[in-house]
Chain A
């Protein structure tokens, strides 16, 4: 009987001490906000396009950080963004849901524009300039190609045109040796 008492008391006392230590620790190491979503947000392309189903890049980053969604919903970021987020989160990469698209920018056909300013209000990065009853135009260097301005335009005068390929931005492709191509194939199969 005495044995049992000792056992219970010592184990209970020990557990109590451990509990107190942990309680203090949880106060000391309490975390405000979520630093992880900052890191994810920094990896996203910031097009604010909403193609992931969230109203912008930041909300999507928050959702990934909390583990609500997969890492493969960012369409404009493409495979590279998906891989770097997967790497950061330590999860297996997943194939993209949609095909990667060529980079585009919006272009306003000025002779058809009626100057309604609706597209200006829709642009998430303020890349359209103009005033009421004046032609609007897109600052191509700042356009993220999010297509959010197409829908509100009442006269459908906005086109998405392919970004011009610049000589300075050209980069060498992989060598056309078999092994280099094998590497590329392996990369692709790895992600599926």
Chain B
């Protein structure tokens, strides 16, 4: 209440609880987006989003075009996968994907033919203003768009026009609060017109009354570019909000709290608060899908870190191996270097660079071992300084949570709201004892999920076992009843009709008795 009042008056100095202000290291903020050349081989995993994996539509030897659908979605929470360039499918087999486990997933290997021909089966929908939102939504799904901010949640699901939860405000997330990353920043500077146009399209789709483009105040050129783009079209339902630089402001729920003062309850979605959040790059992709009929085949990636000789922002085709991208920027020897997929706070360490980039790849960092805290050697005891609780954007108690996770006290950890943690890493960042708090939370969450899985499996097994016992008992009872019936009829027949006695004696039941 007070917070929203302060927000209205423009005193949004403490927009959301907690948060940190790390060294932002935005070295590439002035580096114009460069096109990454085509690699000799594309590796396209059949799942690049949150949800169900796709199933391949192509076979080895098939020729594909850029933007051609090569894997179709299975289930609702899924979007199709498209070929990043024209070329030939040379094999379909398991290959490592950007995942902390280092495990693999079925991937489609495409050898480019160099022509880079585009599949033109989908036409642009220039008349989108007159079209039914459902049709536009289907186009967004067909073009394989998933949130490009890092989570890769299938975008079409969020664009549902739902009478029960009408969307009032669209928040365009240009916060980019992770250190190093500048991909959204550059996109806003260079493609502001397309972004605003895409925003108008989604406003039409969900019938939103207003939209806010949220940008942190360390990106003044982006703020200017967006304001210019807005004034050139003379739209007054869209505004640009400049927010103080603070991590993790770019997290959906924290951003909504910063802008509207509303907290989205745990277990609810932003749409329950009448808000729709979209990432800058996603909106650009929606614009391309509607206006040009382009499926998503590339994305902007920041290549940075102190081990990269020439850091920059690149437009990279999905499926390009990381090693190839690093080589473009002068990094070829990976000894003593850690590769991060995503930003330094929430990104995941990759075990080797022979992994393709996917829809969720926001950044590729390469950092020397010397610069990364050797955390695994120096975890000291907790000194109860309370810094972790101060910076937690969800107001959890990280030190206690970590204790419970470490000791497998999973129920207690759940009591302390382990599952509300967004794994932003603010607590680990400030911990003076270098406790890898987020790592403990991930361990605790994984263990809890496994226990729950086992419990539900046990429940199903118990039902099946009980069902089987009941069936066996029923069969036994039925047999007994049948036998009794036969016996009864025989007896009554022999009483009524003694002539049949001899005949009845030949029946197996009576024979058995004898």
Contacts and interface: CB of A to CB of B under 8 A. Distances in A.
B451 interface: yes
B462 A57 contact: yes
A1 interface: no
Interface in A44-77: 44-48, 56-57
A5 to B, nearest CB: 61
Contacts of A175: 375-376, 379, 436, 439-440, 443
Given A46-B459, A170-B101, A172-B446, A178 B379 contact: yes
Contacts of A179: 379, 381, 406, 435
Contacts of B453: 169
Contacts of B445: 171-172
Interface stretch (B262-270, B326-334, B464-472): B464-472
A177 B449 CA distance: 23
Contact of A144 (B381, B435, B443, B461): B461
B62 interface: no
Contact of B443 (A126, A171, A178): A171
Contact of B464 (A142, A171, A180): A142
Interface of A: 41, 44-48, 56-57, 80, 124-127, 142, 144, 165, 167, 169-180, 183, 187
Interface of B: 99-101, 103, 105, 375-379, 381, 406-408, 435-436, 439-440, 442-443, 445-447, 449-451, 453-454, 457-462, 464-465, 467-468
B327 to A, nearest CB: 28
Nearest to B375: A177
Given A44-B458, A167-B103, A172-B442, A125 B465 contact: yes
Contact of A125 (B378, B436, B454, B464): B464
Contacts of B458: 44-46
Given A80-B451, A172-B446, A126 B459 contact: no
Contacts of B376: 175-177
B197 to A, nearest CB: 37
A144 B453 CA distance: 13
A169 B449 CA distance: 8
Contacts of A165: 103
Given A175-B439, A177-B436, A178-B379, A183 B406 contact: yes
A126 B407 contact: no
A76 B220 CA distance: 60
Contacts of A45: 454, 457-458, 461
A113 B99 CA distance: 40
A176 B407 CA distance: 14
Nearest 10 interchain pairs by C-beta: A171-B446, A177-B379, A46-B461, A172-B442, A125-B464, A46-B458, A175-B439, A46-B462, A170-B101, A175-B436
Contacts of B440: 174-175, 180
24 contacts: A41-B462, A45-B457, A46-B457, A46-B458, A48-B461, A48-B465, A127-B464, A142-B460, A142-B461, A144-B457, A170-B99, A171-B443, A171-B450, A172-B100, A172-B442, A172-B446, A175-B376, A175-B439, A177-B375, A178-B379, A179-B379, A180-B379, A180-B436, A187-B408
A187 B468 contact: no
Contact of B468 (A46, A124, A183): A124
B406 A167 contact: no
Given A44-B458, A126-B468, A177-B375, 19 more contacts: A46-B461, A56-B465, A80-B451, A124-B465, A125-B468, A144-B461, A167-B101, A170-B99, A171-B442, A171-B443, A171-B446, A171-B450, A172-B439, A172-B445, A173-B443, A175-B375, A179-B379, A180-B436, A187-B408
A170 B97 CA distance: 14
B79 to A, nearest CB: 17
Contacts of B105: 167
A171 to B, nearest CB: 2
B344 to A, nearest CB: 17
Contacts of A44: 458
A165 B99 CA distance: 14
A128 to B, nearest CB: 11
Nearest to B52: A168
A3 B467 CA distance: 70
A46 to B, nearest CB: 4
B407 A187 contact: yes
B106 to A, nearest CB: 10
A142 B459 CA distance: 11
A187 B450 CA distance: 19
A60 to B, nearest CB: 13
B439 A183 contact: no
Which residue, of A56, A80, A176, A179, has the highest number of chain B Cβ atoms within 10 A?
Answer: A179
B467 A126 contact: yes
A175 B442 CA distance: 10
B453 to A, nearest CB: 7
Contacts of A144: 457, 461
Given A125-B468, A179-B381, A172 B443 contact: yes
A44 B461 CA distance: 11
A174 B445 CA distance: 11
B461 A47 contact: yes
Nearest to B461: A46
B231 to A, nearest CB: 47
A147 B460 CA distance: 18
Contact of A46 (B375, B379, B408, B465): B465
A93 to B, nearest CB: 12
A162 to B, nearest CB: 15
A16 B376 CA distance: 70
